[in-house]
Amino acid sequence: MTTMDKIKSTDAPMNLAYRLRSLLFSQEGVLFIIMIVSVLFLATRTDKFLTVSNLLQQGRFMTEVGLIAIPMTYIIITGGIDLSVGSILGLTAIILGWTWQELSFPLELAIITGIIAGTIAGFINGFFIVRVKVPPLIMTLATLALYRGLAEGISEAKSARGYPEWFFQLGQGDFLGVPTQLWLLIVAVIIFAIILARTQTGRALYAIGNNETGARFSGLTVDRYLLFIYTLSGFMSGLAGYIFVSRVSTTRSDMGTGIELDVIAAVVLGGTSIFGGTGSVIGTMIGVVLIQLLKNGLALTGVTSDATIIVIGSVLIFAILVNNFIQNRRLGM
Amino acid sequence: MRKTFAITLVLGLLVALFSVPTGAQDDRWDGSDDLETNPLACGMEEMMEEDAEEGDEEEMMEPMEYDGGSATDAPDMAGQDIVLVDVPKLVGIGYFAATTQGQQEAAEELGNVTVTTDAPTEANIDDQIQVIDSYITQGVDGILFAANDPVAIAPVLRTALESGIHVVGYDANSEPDAREWFVNQAEFNGIGKAMIDSLVDQMGEDASFGIVTSTFTTPNQARWISEMWAYASDCYPDLEWLETLEAQEDAVLSFQQAQTLINKYGEDLDGIVAMTSVATPNSADAVQQAGLCEDIAVVGLATPNDMKPYVNDGCVRDAILWNPVDLGYAAVYVMRAIIDGEFAPGDTSVMAGKLGELQVVNGSEVLLGAPFVFNAENINDFDF
């Protein structure tokens, strides 16, 4: 054999078997397998779990977390974090209710005002993180309190109720048999997964996460990208706030409290490294679905809420350990 | 750049601070429900302690029309074993441990009822909705609930009714048509009157006081505060209300809010009115630790066990409650009576085991009885 032939024969075989294997053992693949195993296990314990209506209902409940998890994935990939998403959700809900009830805005305008308020809140986060160079953890921790306080102040502790019927279509209605908000989530997932995986924006985010200084010196407009993702986070939180109000038919200033933890857990479970540089929207979505189905499946098998939290925590640790183990072995492959 | 940040943050905080008092909060002590209030007659002697008295002194209201919902196509389980689920606001506090105890007692007495208590570990509406939803999917015969928010919980309860599951509320109501009956522990105006009377008795008619509640939109606390306000406006107009703080049924937060009141108003504070069974002992603790037992009266709703150290110490004079064990007990009996067909819309009373006959008030509410006052003389007789 000539030297060239020898070199060619050592190329990794790009055949189907190799592709399937690398897909299966990728972070998302392992998580997907864990999810399937959990679902099958829970399905054997109760026959009410794996029904279409139950799964669709769970899709309804997980939409808010799912929507917020998308920009959170982007943010954590760049090595940042956004803890204020829950407060932005609450602020949007309150502004929606307050402008409609106190300022007598037409309801459509109130909805848009609320979401714009959420977007601006995200923009303020991004502005201070980018221009004033406040670390994201500190900034969003501060706005977590600030936005929540604003929500409580504006609402004056009143809740806005009595919305017209069409308002509930988004949160409580169905479209072609599937909960309306779930369509929104599916469309958002497709769009943002493609942006992350296939466009320059996505690649830029990974670059920023891996080495921000390097990215800057390579000519990437790092500041613009960061501003974009934090504003997107505010927008998605606002959208989630609107869906939430539509789902529970009322606004309260404590809405969204604690949701940032659910979102971050799902993102980290989905394979996104907290140090930045790796992650995917699909992985995050598998994480969101896994947590929601676990919660629901356990509840249906008769496990009470306090025990459910223990199981979910354990599964989280287990999934991350298994994934780490397999990824480390793969690197040696 | 740091300076810009600091200035902007301070400005932002100032905006948040000032947006609070700009509301028309002068007349209301809470912001939430706009239901009518119905204050009782003034005067201390009418501290209601027996059912008989209550019947005489309340205005003769015409019996309201039944305004509850109904279960669609519920299977007929009269006399058969039933499975119930109880979803209180949260688990892990003494009050709902007591209601659970009452429910288990009733279940044992009846023999053909199984009750499980399951609720989120924080008083969170979304989690409560998801818990109820999973039990609808599981398929239970009846749901007992204490709502974190009357409007938010209504859609999922209506779904339960449409699935043929019976729904009975206790402690904290939902919208009337989302449940069949609501077991009301005591008339809202009775509690309002008892709290204000106790405060005035200890600190005089011109006392200044602050309120520590759960949240402004929790149904029962909001109603009690509305009634307190209406009663005080009629009978003790010189009472000065300072502020209402939220403490979310959290022990540490209640303590901190009470401390905030003490530190903020100093000598002007004569009383703290605590609206939850978690806020009262923790407010008493804050007052005791500040050494101000003589100067600040703590008045509130609490379980006797939580208040024993403070009442026996002399720091707190009395605590007001009803018997939550009886409340849970009555809820199970009401549910059993509905399923057996012995209690239907239009009835004016229902038999509830050892509690005897309970009256129907306000259309679709079952009244447990009058508020009970625990003080140094009787508090050691109770254990919940």
CA-CA distance, A240 to A267, in Å (whole number)? Answer: 17
List, for residues B329-356, the tens digit of each pLDDT value: 999 999 999 999 888 888 888 988 888 8
Assign 3-class secondary structure to B217-232: CCHHHHHHHHHHHHHH
Q: Min CA distance, A300 vs chain B (Å)?
A: 6
Please provide the size of chain A in residues.
333
Segment B60-78 shows an average pLDDT of 77
Residues of A whose CB is below 8 A from B225: none
List, for residues A306-319, the tens digit of each pLDDT value: 888 898 889 888 88
What pLDDT does A293 receive?
Answer: 93
Q: Which tokens belong to B150? A: 């009357």
What pLDDT does B370 receive?
Answer: 78
Which of the two residues, A177 and A259, has the higher pLDDT score? A259
SS3 label, residue A273: coil
Segment B208-223 shows an average pLDDT of 86
Contact A158 B116 (CB under 8 A): no
What pLDDT does B182 receive?
Answer: 93
Give the number of A-B residue pairs with CB atoms closer than 8 Å: 115
What pLDDT does A301 receive?
Answer: 87
Of the partner residues B116, B120, B149, the one whose CB lies closest to the CB of residue A250: B149
List, for residues A108-153, the tens digit of each pLDDT value: 999 999 999 999 999 999 999 999 999 999 999 999 999 999 998 8
| Token pair 């009244």: residue | B367
CA-CA distance, B286 to B291, in Å (whole number)? Answer: 9
Residues of B whose CB is below 8 A from A61: 126, 130, 133
Contact A250 B137 (CB under 8 A): no
Name the strand (E) or helix (H) holding B349.
strand B349-351
Contact B19 A128 (CB under 8 A): no
pLDDT higher than threshold 90 for residue B18: no
pLDDT higher than threshold 70 for residue B315: yes
* Sign of torsion over alpha carbons B179, B183, B185, B191: positive
SS3 label, residue A165: helix
* Sign of torsion over alpha carbons B205, B206, B209, B211: positive
| Token pair 């809820």: residue | B331
Of the partner residues A146, A248, A306, the one whose CB lies closest to the CB of residue B152: A248
Contact B23 A134 (CB under 8 A): no
User: If you compute the radius of gyration of chain B from its CA atoms, what whole number of angstroms results?
Assistant: 21
Q: Which tokens belong to A262? A: 């659910």
Yes or no: domain B82-185+323-368 corresponds to CATH 2.60.120.330: no
List, for residues A76-103, the tens digit of each pLDDT value: 999 999 999 999 999 999 999 999 988 8
List, for residues B127-166, the tens digit of each pLDDT value: 999 999 999 998 899 999 999 998 899 999 999 999 999 9
What CATH number matches the domain at B31-56+187-321, 3.20.20.70, 3.40.50.300, 3.40.50.2300, 1.10.3720.10? 3.40.50.2300
What are the residue ranges spanned by the domains of chain A? Answer: 53-322
Strands ordered across the beta sheet of B318-321:
B240-246, B208-213, B271-274, B297-301, B318-321, B372-375
Segment A258-282 shows an average pLDDT of 90
Contact between residue B275 and residue B213 where contact means Cβ atoms under 8 Å apart: yes
Segment B32-55 shows an average pLDDT of 55
Closest CA to B234 of B197, B261, B191: B197
What pLDDT does A18 receive?
Answer: 82
CA-CA distance, B192 to B231, in Å (whole number)? Answer: 7
Q: Which amino acid is at A37?
A: V
Q: How do strand A174-175 and strand A178-179 relate by DSSP bridges?
A: antiparallel
CA of A162: which chain B residue's CA is closest?
B151
pLDDT higher than threshold 70 for residue A333: no
Of the partner residues B31, B137, B139, the one whose CB lies closest to the CB of residue A158: B31
pLDDT higher than threshold 60 for residue A9: no
* ∠ Cα A108 A192 A21 (to 5°): 150
Q: Min CA distance, A250 vs chain B (Å)?
A: 6
Looking at residue A145, the DSSP 8-state letter turns out to be: H
User: If you compute the radius of gyration of chain A from its CA atoms, what whole number of angstroms results?
Assistant: 22
Of the partner residues B131, B137, B149, the one whose CB lies closest to the CB of residue A252: B149
pLDDT higher than threshold 80 for residue A330: no
CA-CA distance, A9 to A4, in Å (whole number)? Answer: 9
Q: Which amino acid is at B6?
A: A
Query: What are the backbone dihedrals phi and psi of residue A57, each rounded to the nearest 5 degrees, phi first?
Result: -65, -40
Contact between residue A25 and residue A330 where contact means Cβ atoms under 8 Å apart: yes
| Token pair 């977590």: residue | A144
pLDDT higher than threshold 90 for residue B33: no
Closest CA to A88 of A59, A124, A61, A62: A124
Q: Which tokens belong to A71? A: 């920009």
Residues of B whose CB is below 8 A from A159: 31-32, 149, 151, 217
What pLDDT does A206 receive?
Answer: 95
Contact B138 A252 (CB under 8 A): no
pLDDT higher than threshold 80 for residue B13: no
* Sign of torsion over alpha carbons B309, B311, B316, B319: positive
Closest CA to B196 of B299, B48, B322, B302: B299
Contact B20 A146 (CB under 8 A): no
What are the residue ranges spanned by the domains of chain B? Answer: 31-56+187-321, 82-185+323-368
Which of the two residues, B297 and B54, has the higher pLDDT score? B297
Closest CA to B331 of B191, B224, B171, B212: B171
pTM for the model: 0.80
What pLDDT does B47 receive?
Answer: 41
Of the partner residues B16, B129, B130, the one whose CB lies closest to the CB of residue A150: B16
CA of B139: which chain A residue's CA is closest?
A48
Residues of A whose CB is below 8 A from B12: 146
Q: Which tokens belong to A39? A: 């679902």
The fold of A53-322 is ABC transporter involved in vitamin B12 uptake, BtuC (1.10.3470)
Confidence of residue A161 (pLDDT cuts 50, 70, 90): confident
What pLDDT does A8 receive?
Answer: 55
Contact between residue B231 and residue B189 where contact means Cβ atoms under 8 Å apart: yes
* Count of CB atoms situated within 10 Å of the CB of A269: 23
What pLDDT does B4 receive?
Answer: 74
What pLDDT does A207 receive?
Answer: 95
Q: Min CA distance, A299 vs chain B (Å)?
A: 6
SS3 label, residue B93: coil
Contact between residue B157 and residue B128 where contact means Cβ atoms under 8 Å apart: no
Of the partner residues B8, B32, B138, the one whose CB lies closest to the CB of residue A157: B32
* ∠ Cα B22 B273 A253 (to 5°): 45
Prediction ipTM score? 0.81
What pLDDT does B346 receive?
Answer: 85
Interface of A with B (CB under 8 A): 46, 48, 54, 57, 61, 128, 131-134, 142, 146, 149-150, 152-159, 161, 172, 244, 247-250, 252, 254-255, 257-258, 295-296, 299-300, 302, 304-306, 309
Residues of B whose CB is below 8 A from A252: 125, 149, 152, 215, 217
Residues of A whose CB is below 8 A from B20: 152-153, 156
What pLDDT does B371 receive?
Answer: 82
| Ranges of H-type helices in chain B | 2-19, 51-57, 94-110, 125-138, 154-162, 188-203, 219-235, 251-265, 279-289, 304-313, 324-339
pLDDT higher than threshold 50 for residue B23: no
Residues of A whose CB is below 8 A from B149: 159, 248, 250, 252
Residues of A whose CB is below 8 A from B131: 299, 305
Helices B125-138 & A52-77 angle (0-180, nearest 10): 150
What pLDDT does A157 receive?
Answer: 64
What pLDDT does B50 receive?
Answer: 36
* Sign of torsion over alpha carbons B265, B271, B276, B282: positive
Q: Which amino acid is at B215?
A: T
SS3 label, residue B213: strand
What pLDDT does B123 receive?
Answer: 86
